[in-house]
Amino acid sequence: MSQDRSKIAADCWRRGTEVAVKEQWEYAIEMLSKSVMLAPENLIYRQTLRGLEYKKYHGNKKGAKMGKMKLMGIRGKIKKARMSKDWKAIDRLAEEGLSINPWNAQLNASQAEACLNIGYQEIADFAYRNALEIEPENIKYLRSLGKLLEERGNFAEAIGIYEKLAKLDPSDNSIKSKLNQLSADKVMQRGGYEDAKSTQEMRSEYDYDHVRPTQQTTEIGPGDSREADLERAIRKDPANVDHYLNLTRLYRKNNRHEDAFELLKKAMDASGGHQTVRELLEDVELDLLKNNLEISKEAAKNSDDPAKRELSASLSRDLLKKEIEVYSSRVERYPKESRLKMELATRFMRNKQFDQAIPLFQQASADSRLECEVLVYLGECFVQVRKNDLARRQLEKAIPLINQHEQTDLFKKAHYLAARLAEAAKQLDQAENHLNEILALDYSYRDACDRLEKIQSSRGDEQDAILD
C-alpha cells in the first residue's frame, strides 16, 4: 500500500475514534469504513469498525431493523462472486453486510474465507472467531479455524478446537488423528521456539554424562565431542530436525552465528520449512545483524572516519527494518502474545511510526505484567503525535503502578515526561512535584535540576514583585 493511502487510512481511523467518544456512530463508522477500504489488511481497523457497529446497534445481536430483507441482495452477490472466486469482492460485500448486522455468522465466515484466500490471515482468524461467537458449535467454522490456527503455528489453541470437534462428532477418526499430529507439533514447537528441551536432546545429554562423567554438558564448547556427536547424528539421520536444533543451540551459545545460520538453512530443507525452524532462522539472522552492528559501532567510536559512522548508521537501520519484519509476522501468527506486540510497537517507535505503534501498545496494555511499561510508551507516543491530554492520561495511570526501586529508569522517565507536559500546560506545581520525585533518586538525571531551578526562580520573581 502506498504511503499516501496508509496516511489517509490512519487519519480516518483517528477521526473515527475521536467522534466515537461522542457517540456519533454514523460518522465514526463512515470514517472506519474508509480506513478498512484503504487498508483492508489492517486488523486494528477491522476490530475498531466492528466494535463501533456493535455499539451502534446497542449490542442487540440482530443489527438493523428489517436486516434479513436488506441482506438478501448482498447474499446473492456473495454467492455469485464465490462462483468466480472473486475473494476481494466477497470481502467487500461481507463488510457491507456486516454494517447491517455485525452478528451474522454466515457473513463473518464468508469474510474469513475470502481473507484467507487473499492472504489476510489475522483478519480471517478474527472473522472466524466472530462467526463462532454466534454459532459456537458450527462444525464447518470450527474446522476452518482449527486449520488456520495450525497453519499459523498456534498448536495449543488448535488442539482446543479439535477437542471440541471430537466431542461434537466422536465418530470422526480423522479428528483424533489430527489431535495426535497437533500434539506432536506442539512438542516440537516448544523444543525450538521456546527453547525447552526435547525428549531426544534430554536423552542424548543424559547418555553423554554417563559416558564422560568428569565433564558436564554445560562446559562443552566448540570442537568438543558434543558438537561432533551432533554432526554425526545429522549425517546418520538427516531428516531428524531435533539434531539440527540442538547443534544450533550449541553454536548460538558460543556466538557462532554464521555457523548457526548455515546449519538452519539446511534444517529448513530437512523439515520442509517448519515454522519452528523458520523462526529460529530469523532469530539467528537478527543475532548476526546485532553482532555486525556492535563491531561497526566499536570501530566508529575510535575513528574520525565519517564512512565508518555511516556504515554503523546503515547497519542500525537494517537491523531495525529486519526486526519490524520479524515481529510483524510473529504478531500475526501469535495474536494473543502481548509481549510480541510490545516489541513490535517499540520498533515502530524507534522508526518514528507512532501511528502504528499506538494501537499495538493499547492492545498490550491489557496484560498486567506489561501495563505500566506500556502506558509510559503510550505517553511518549501521544506526545510525539501532539496529543498531550492523552499522553497525560497514560502517565497518570502508569506512575502509581511503577515500583521505583525495581523499575528506577522507568520511574524517572515517566515523571520526566509528566513534568514536561505539566510545564507545557503551565501547571508548575505538578511539574515541580514530578521533578522532585526524579531528583530524590537521581540528582543528575537529564536537565531535571535545571528545570526545577527555572520553575522555582520564576516563582521567586513573582514573589519579589508582590513584595515590591
The reply to whether 122 and 169 lie within a common domain is: no
Under 8 Å CB-to-CB from 198, ≥6 apart: which residues?
Answer: 187, 188, 191, 242, 245, 246
The reply to whether 39 and 122 lie within a common domain is: yes
| Residue reference for cell 537478527 | 286
Q: Identify whether the C-beta of residue 130 lies closer than 8 Å to the C-beta of residue 152.
A: no
The reply to whether 163 and 65 lie within a common domain is: no
| Residue reference for cell 462444525 | 139
Considering 138, 155, 183, which residue would you say is the last residue of a domain? Answer: 138
Under 8 Å CB-to-CB from 326, ≥6 apart: which residues?
Answer: 282, 286
Considering 169, 194, 219, which residue would you say is the last residue of a domain? Answer: 194
User: In the prediction, which pLDDT does 291 show?
Assistant: 83
User: In the prediction, which pLDDT does 135 show?
Assistant: 94
Considering 138, 173, 208, which residue would you say is the last residue of a domain? Answer: 138
C-alpha dihedral sign at 385, 389, 390, 391: positive
Compute the distance between CA of residue 131 and CA of residue 50 in angstroms, rounded to an integer.
Answer: 13
C-alpha cell at 399: 506512575
Number of domains in the chain: 2
Residue 50, in any domain of the structure = yes
Compute the distance between CA of residue 298 and CA of residue 312 in angstroms, rounded to an integer.
Answer: 9
How many CA atoms lie within 13 Å of 424's alpha carbon, on the beta-carbon side? 13
The reply to whether 54 and 79 lie within a common domain is: yes
Compute the distance between CA of residue 281 and CA of residue 153 in angstroms, rounded to an integer.
Answer: 16
Q: Identify whether the C-beta of residue 449 lies closer than 8 Å to the C-beta of residue 439.
A: yes
The reply to whether 158 and 46 lie within a common domain is: no
CA 230-232-235 angle, 5° bins = 110
C-alpha dihedral over 242, 246, 247, 251, to 10 degrees?
Answer: 140
Residue 400 DSSP symbol: G
The reply to whether 14 and 120 lie within a common domain is: yes
The reply to whether 123 and 147 lie within a common domain is: no
The reply to whether 26 and 116 lie within a common domain is: yes
User: In the prediction, which pLDDT does 385 show?
Assistant: 94
Q: Identify whether the C-beta of residue 200 lies closer than 8 Å to the C-beta of residue 192.
A: no
Q: How far is CA 12 from the centre of its chain?
A: 22
Q: Identify whether the C-beta of residue 87 lies closer than 8 Å to the C-beta of residue 118.
A: yes
User: In the prediction, which pLDDT does 174 show?
Assistant: 82
Domain extent at residue 144: 139-194
Residue 20, in any domain of the structure = yes
The reply to whether 73 and 126 lie within a common domain is: yes
User: In the prediction, which pLDDT does 36 show?
Assistant: 93
- pTM for this model (two decimals): 0.52
Instruction: Please report, for the chain, how many H helices and E strands are present, in that order.
Output: 23, 0
Under 8 Å CB-to-CB from 233, ≥6 apart: which residues?
Answer: 204, 240, 243
Compute the distance between CA of residue 68 and CA of residue 102 in angstroms, rounded to an integer.
Answer: 12
Q: How far apart are the first and last CA of the chain?
A: 65
Q: Identify whether the C-beta of residue 355 lies closer than 8 Å to the C-beta of residue 373.
A: no
Which residue intervals of 171-240 are DSSP H helices?
173-192, 199-211, 225-236
pLDDT tens string for the chain (468 positions)?
555 787 888 888 888 888 887 888 899 999 999 999 998 988 888 888 998 999 999 889 999 988 889 999 999 999 999 999 999 999 999 999 999 999 999 999 999 999 999 989 889 999 999 999 999 999 999 999 999 988 877 777 888 888 889 889 888 888 877 777 777 665 555 444 444 433 333 333 333 333 333 333 344 333 445 788 888 888 888 888 888 888 888 888 888 888 888 899 888 888 888 888 888 899 998 988 888 888 888 888 877 878 878 888 888 998 999 999 999 999 988 888 899 999 999 999 999 999 999 999 999 999 888 999 999 999 999 999 999 999 999 999 999 999 888 899 999 999 999 999 999 999 999 999 999 999 999 999 999 999 999 998 886 655 444 334
The reply to whether 7 and 99 lie within a common domain is: yes
Residue 211, in any domain of the structure = no
Compute the distance between CA of residue 114 and CA of residue 87 in angstroms, rounded to an integer.
Answer: 5
Compute the distance between CA of residue 392 and CA of residue 188 in angstroms, rounded to an integer.
Answer: 45
Residue 439, in any domain of the structure = no
What are the CA-CA distances from residue 201 to residues 76, 240, 243, 324 (Å)?
A: 56, 12, 8, 32
Query: Domain holding 121: CATH number?
Result: 1.25.40
How many CA atoms lie within 13 Å of 117's alpha carbon, on the beta-carbon side? 14
Q: Identify whether the C-beta of residue 339 lies closer than 8 Å to the C-beta of residue 367.
A: yes
User: In the prediction, which pLDDT does 188 show?
Assistant: 55
